[in-house]
A = this chain, B = another copy of it.
Amino acid sequence: MPNISQKASDMPSSPIRRLVPYADKAQAKGIKIYHLNIGQPDIKTPETAIAAMKNANIDVLEYSHSAGIASYRNKLAAYYQTIGIHITVEDLIVTVGGSEAITFGFMTACNPGDEVIIPEPFYANYNGFAVLAGVKIVPVTSHIEDGFALPPIEEIEKKITPKTKAIVICNPGNPTGYLYSKKELEQLAEIVKKHNIYLFSDEVYREFCYDGATPHSVMNLNGIEDNAIMIDSVSKRYSMCGARIGVIVSKNKEFMAGIMKFAQARLSPPTIEQIGAEAALDTPQSYFDEVIKEYVERRDVLYNGLNSIPGVFCPKPSGAFYCVAKLPVDDADKFCQWLLEEFEYEGQTVMMAPASGFYSTKGVGKDQVRLAYVLNKESLKNAITCLKVALEQYPGKISHSEKIKNLSSIG
């Protein structure tokens, strides 16, 4: 039998999906599972997008332009103008989801063996994109005690080597829900300019900022027009994860010419779902007002509920629809598996993503989990109750005093 490649061996399995077989077994036993483990929102896709796809008058389902349907690109550029991101249609190429945008971005920015610096915890799939492009991720740890703020800029700068080609952030952040301040972004801008490297900013959760917080785009940082790369997608904004329509944006012409060559090789993004994405741009503000109101309420249920459980700590997320919580357990991977394999409370249990998959540094975040608030409030309340009972019963529980000891040994 022929061998498979090193890349195929190195490629990480999805940490978010590792627990699925245990969940399947629990379900087979008739246990109701509250799925807080995945970022698939239950929010309805805007009617305007669905209607456009239904009403598309198609005789021959043709390739689109490799950079995306012209009318969609134009309307997308206009949309960015309205939210204060001043780009033109030449600065953007439509991709097959944000996933392809990041993969092509890494491939255009980096040679195999080059490095990208990413504050951890970070979206686990970045690991996969890095393996695809042969790139090494160099993590800089952010801390739950600081609410996952940007680590001190000197710590990040210390990690820059001649092989470093980019710093990558997700803003607002998956899995942390942290929203970078303008000052933090300006610090990043200064060092990418100084070291002549790229700054990738994954801004797919832009529309989901709470409590009056304002997102700052990488495209609006002065003096780094040739360094700034923005990743975006319709997946979360319009609850259209299945459309697989993303975009990569940069004012760096040479970089975009590189992206275009990769885009030509794969021919085009899906045609009908681009039609849906174009129509989605007409979604009225009232849709977002409602969705944001809903997410804020859910966040508050989850945030307050988690912090009311003895020994649990969760910083308040300002954006996206995730939070990372620290639990009084020996090992969150074991705990999450135990929840599915051995626990139930009134026929229910909770599925969460162990945070270890979001850290690149071995052993960090071992007692943390990521929770996505993609369920309604009632379900979230039930999930919190389950979790509280589970933490009382879990054999690997760490007592409050041990936890304080551990915290102070970290700090």
User: Contact residues of A with B, CB < 8 Å?
Assistant: 1-2, 4-9, 11-14, 17, 40-45, 49-50, 53-56, 58-64, 66, 96-97, 99-100, 103, 107-112, 114, 125, 128-129, 131-132, 134, 165-166, 196-198, 226-227, 239-244, 252, 254-255, 258-259, 261-262, 264-273, 276
Contact = CB atoms under 8 A, between A and B. Distances in A.
28 contacts: A2-B197, A2-B252, A2-B255, A4-B109, A5-B111, A5-B258, A8-B107, A8-B258, A8-B262, A11-B261, A11-B265, A14-B265, A42-B60, A43-B60, A45-B59, A45-B60, A50-B58, A50-B61, A53-B53, A97-B267, A99-B265, A128-B261, A241-B267, A241-B268, A242-B268, A243-B271, A244-B270, A272-B272
A264 B128 contact: yes
A7 B14 CA distance: 27
B267 A243 contact: no
A5 B165 CA distance: 10
Contact of A266 (B6, B99, B111, B226): B99
7 closest residue pairs by CB, A with B:
A128-B265, A242-B271, A8-B258, A11-B261, A270-B270, A1-B226, A8-B108
One complex includes copies of this chain to the number of 2
A11 B243 contact: no
A112 B96 contact: no
Nearest to A239: B60
B11 A262 contact: yes
Given A2-B197, A254-B4, A240 B61 contact: yes
A5 B254 CA distance: 11
A132 B107 contact: yes
B40 A59 contact: no
Given A53-B272, A264-B13, A265-B132, A107 B7 contact: yes
Contact of A107 (B5, B56, B243): B5
Contacts of A261: 8, 11-13, 128
Given A109-B2, A198-B2, A9 B50 contact: no
A1 B128 contact: no
Contacts of A266: 96-97, 99-100, 103, 128
A350 B129 CA distance: 42
A272 B54 CA distance: 10
A108 to B, nearest CB: 4
Contacts of A4: 108-109, 254-255, 258
Q: Which one of A14, A17, A129, A267 has the greatest number of beta carbons of chain B within 10 Å?
A: A267
A198 B212 CA distance: 57
A131 B87 CA distance: 30
A199 to B, nearest CB: 10
A252 B99 contact: no
Contacts of A50: 58, 61
A385 B21 CA distance: 64
Contacts of A60: 41-45, 239
B264 A63 contact: no
Contacts of A131: 265
Q: Give the interface centre of A50, A64, A99, A272 by most chain B CB atoms within 10 Å.
A: A272
B272 A242 contact: yes
Contacts of A49: 61
B61 A45 contact: yes
A273 B272 contact: yes
Nearest to A226: B1
